[in-house]
Amino acid sequence: MPISVEDVQTLSAASDLELAMFRPAHVEARVARALEKGTVADIVELGSVLRHDPGARTEFRRSIAISVTGFFRDADQFELLAEHTDHLRYKERPRVWSAGCSTGAELWTLAVLLDRLGAAGRAQLLGSDILDENIRRARAGLDEGELAGHVLPEDAKPWFEVRDIVTQGPPGGGWDIVLCRNMAIYLEPNARQRLHGMLAESLAPGGLLLLGRSERLSDPRALGMEFVAPHLYRRAGTA
């Protein structure tokens, strides 16, 4: 169900989420699903509901900016990352950023990896997400079910912030690890290109960027990046 530019603007304002950065087909599918529930007749009514019903707004926002997370989700990716991070055990203050962190489990997974290097307590651990409801949940901490038997490092001090990376840019630079998995697949091509460029620029020389399984940098060299392994790239230069 194609929707007009005006409809996108209406729903963006109502949901407080810039829908134009997402793939049109993705937005259209999510809007169609919202309309299929039968509680609203059209996009105008949907916009009204999103403006006045916080629960409906949260549900819609999460359907667009899909939030899927878990401790050591796709564990082999973290095993691959661990193979290339031993140097961080010697760094005075490793800096790690989980971009699109959802409710925080993947940032805590990175904290566990650093803890194995003896570096969690001195690391800067940042998680950011476009949805403030995700960040509120992340700041509240993980429950026993989310931990799945893992023990969190007691000296780790993660920080979580709301950030729309595409429009606001990255939170500074000099990151040793940036984890950004399965965010770009929902973005339209220009937004995806901007995102990848900003992620690359945010890395310190030798810093690592881990993308999702179905994601690739289209031209790593143009971004100053080197291919390490599927989904894993390194910023050119010496760490």
116 located within any domain? yes
64-77-159 Cα angle (round to 5): 60
Model pTM above 0.85: yes
Query: Are 140 and 196 part of one and the same domain?
Result: yes
Identify the weakest region by mean pLDDT among 60-74, 124-138, 218-232: 60-74
Query: Are 29 and 84 part of one and the same domain?
Result: no
Average pLDDT, the chain: 92
- Give every CB contact of residue 90 below 8 A, 6+ residues apart in sequence: none
pLDDT at 185: 92
99 located within any domain? yes
Q: Domain residues for 167?
A: 75-235
- Rounded Cα gap, residues 2 and 121, in angstroms: 50
69 located within any domain? no
* Cα separation values, 106 from 33, 48, 123, 135, 155, Å: 28, 35, 15, 13, 17
Question: Is residue 61 pLDDT above 70, yes or no?
Answer: yes
51 located within any domain? yes
Q: Once rounded to an integer, what is the mean pLDDT over residues 85-95?
A: 95
Per-residue pLDDT reduced to its tens digit, 155-212: 999 999 999 999 899 999 999 999 999 999 999 999 999 999 999 999 999 999 999 9
* Cα separation values, 141 from 31, 114, 164, Å: 31, 18, 22
Per-residue pLDDT reduced to its tens digit, 136-150: 999 998 877 778 778
pLDDT at 38: 67
pLDDT at 1: 62
Percentage of the chain surpassing pLDDT 70? 98
pLDDT at 114: 96
As for how many domains the chain has, the answer is 2
